[in-house]
Chain A
Amino acid sequence: MNTDMLTAPSVDYMAILPLLIVAGAAVIGVIVETFAPRGARRTIQLFLAFGSLVAAFVALVSEAGLRSLEVEGAIAFDGPGMLLMGLILLASFVAAMLIAERQLDPAGDSFAPRASALPGSRDERELTARGYLQTEVWPLFLFAVLGMMLFVISNNLLMMFISLEVMSLPLYLLAGMARRRRLLSQEAAMKYFILGAFSSAFFLFGSALVYGFTGSVEFAAISDALAAQPGQTYLVIGGVGLISVGLLFKIGAVPFHQWVPDVYQGSPSAVTAFMAATVKVAAFGAILRIFYVAFGGLRWDWEILLWIIAGLTMVVGSIVAVVQTDIKRMIAYSSIAQAGFILMGVASATPEGLGASIFYLTAYAFTTLGIFAVIMIVRDGSGEAGRLSQWAGLGRRSPVVGAAFAIFMLSLAGIPLTSGFIAKFAVFSSALAVDQVIPVIIAVISSVIAAFFYGRVIVIMYFREPESDGATVTVPSAFTTLALAISVAVTVLLGVLPQPVLDLIEQAGVFIR
């Protein structure tokens, strides 16, 4: 950079239109919270949220052929980036339906009437009695979506750090907003925040070290500098290691997974659905880009590390999930195991591995959204029925919901004719294509262990006598019903007719630099 004069960067505003739409809607959402009358807020916020997601998706599709670096190379519009952005928008759309649900809880929605009111205080009771409902979740939701979209296309370390924070900060707050079991929710928010901030500090210091070694934060320049100076020093190895810690934390890979079960269990289920599905997509998008584009030249160093972490993640996630008695905790450990499977695609470091990871993320995102939609509507007198034993006999009493949940469990287990099977098949073959037999064997063993606890849920739902305090299915509004229907449809369609999506992924090609 010339230090004498700074020239204004040239920005192609049409290209970044999808991002601008979501950012604009989020900012307008904040203004609406300040100035709009209380009664009108929900209508406006729903219109803004769904409208901006649809508009951003349309804008994204209309520029689907775009392959270029924008904003002075800070963001890269390329095939995988566009696909992941589209996936984030679609999954957020479904998650938004779950957040908009207002028919399940007799007191209103699933968010605290005022997040600052003390749990169990007179204040809170009064607010609840007056039917006070908050809509602050919507701007936070949109800012998180914006951060995720930026995260998968950011093309330098600074952009990646900022989008990481734009994505995470709203999620920390959303995690603490549950209407019921508020102490749990606040605890989840604090654990998520402390550990999340801790890991992003690692990411930042790693970026500083990489910048020190290469003299640039642009991915392409980093890659060139690494190729020019093949003798690796402690500086670059340390930098890549610290950056990996920050990113692996976000996907919940072992040994950085401790926050996952606590946060998944404590957060409001609609928020858990949102972050379980989309954060994983965004964080894997960032990991794929940074390892393939910036650190591609170091692959002999990080590959082995990623294989080991993938193996550990699959095994630990699957084994610990077996002993869980709470459904949300069980799904949390299962999502850790799923992250291990996706990491296999990343560690393959081939275009096939990239495609397999993206397909797996698509399958996983919609299955997860469906699972949490079911968790939201299975309730007892005090809210959602968390204990697995309360689900006994649910499949016989509510055949439709039971069948939907069984499909999701089968998909996560990787049974044929569901999306999970094709996804697992794709990552396993990408690993075998680079002669990694041992990770595949570990993956198959973990799949068998995982099949046990997924199967157990189905057994509990269909073949066990219901308990006295058993859960029942509450009839949801059209929002959750539609979200559930979309999730089931995607899970089955990707299992029966995966070819169009596989073609789309193949056409998308690889990352540009």
Chain B
Amino acid sequence: MSPDHYILLSVVLFTIGTIGVLVRRNAIVVFMSIELMLNSANLAFVAFARMHGNLDGQVIAFFVMVVAAAEVVVGLAIIVALYRSRRSASIDEPNLLKY
């Protein structure tokens, strides 16, 4: 299989992630969609690394995984704190900040 297919797949995954962030209203699902976007970038990096025959892309994928893990820690902490004070993980319900 040529790397093109993997890149196409990564674009599809990125699009699914983007749409997920925009249309889903549960903070956890939105967050999962963001993780999907990060992982689609990882797939693209690895596929491009294969295409160019250098290791940069593969190394980057490892770094991105670590960053994504750190982001999960911070993100879930914020979402859980919000859920405990509001009994809901909807991202539309907190609407005290406007105008």
Spell out A's residues near B (CB within 8 Å). Answer: 1, 3, 115-116, 118-119, 158, 161-162, 165, 169, 172-173, 176, 182-184, 186-191, 193-194, 197-198, 201-202, 204-205, 207-209, 211-212, 215-217, 261-262, 265-266, 324-325, 329
Give the distance to chain A from B74, nearest Cβ to Cβ, in Å.
Answer: 5
B44/A173 in contact, CB under 8 A:
no
A172 to B45, CA, bound (A): 27
A212/B7 contact (C-beta < 8 A), A162-B67, A190-B94, A193-B75 known: yes
> Which A residues are CB-close (under 8 A) to B16?
none
A161 and B37 form a contact (CB under 8 A): no
Contact of B41 with A190 in the complex, beta carbons under 8 Å: no
Question: A183–B96 contact, CB under 8 A?
Answer: yes
**Judging by beta carbons under 8 Å apart, are A190 and B44 in contact?**
no
Chain B residues, Cβ within 8 Å of A198 = 21, 34, 37
Pick from A1, A189, A265, A329: contact of B78, CB below 8 A.
A189
**B95 surroundings in chain A (CB, below 8 A):** 187
Shortest B10–chain A CB gap in Å is: 8
- Assess A158 versus B70: contact at CB under 8 Å? Given A183-B94, A189-B78: no
List the B side residues contacting A188 at CB < 8 Å: 97
Which A residue's beta carbon lies closest to that of B95? A187
Q: Are B17 and A201 in contact (CB under 8 A)?
A: yes
Give the CA-CA distance A205 to B35 in the complex, in Å.
12
Residue contact B81 to A211, C-beta cutoff 8 Å: no
Q: Is the interface of A mostly helix, strand, loop or mixed?
A: helix
Besides the contacts A198-B21, A205-B40, A212-B51, what 4 more A-B pairs have beta carbons closer than 8 Å? A165-B71, A197-B34, A204-B38, A205-B37
Within the complex, the shortest CB–CB distance from A233 to chain B, in Å, comes to 13
Contact residue among A190, A261, A324 (Cβ-Cβ distance under 8 Å from B91): A190
Q: Are A208 and B71 in contact (CB under 8 A)?
A: no
Given known A186-B81, A187-B96, A201-B41, contact A169–B74 (CB-CB < 8 A): yes
Q: Given the complex, which residues of B lie within 8 Å of A201, measured CB to CB?
A: 17, 34, 37-38, 41
Which one of A116, A161, A194 lies within 8 Å of B67 (CB-CB)? A161
- Choose among B44, B85, B86, B91 the residue that contacts A194 (Cβ–Cβ < 8 A): B91
Residues of B with C-beta under 8 A to A3 = 54-55
Bits for B54-87, please: 1 = Cβ < 8 Å to A, else 0. 1111011001100100110011011101101110
Q: Which of B30, B45, B67, B99 contacts A208 (CB 8 A)?
A: B45
**B1-54 with Cβ < 8 A to chain A:** 7, 10, 14, 17, 21, 27, 30-31, 34, 37-38, 40-41, 44-45, 47-48, 51-52, 54
How close is A228's CB to chain B, nearest CB, in angstroms? 14
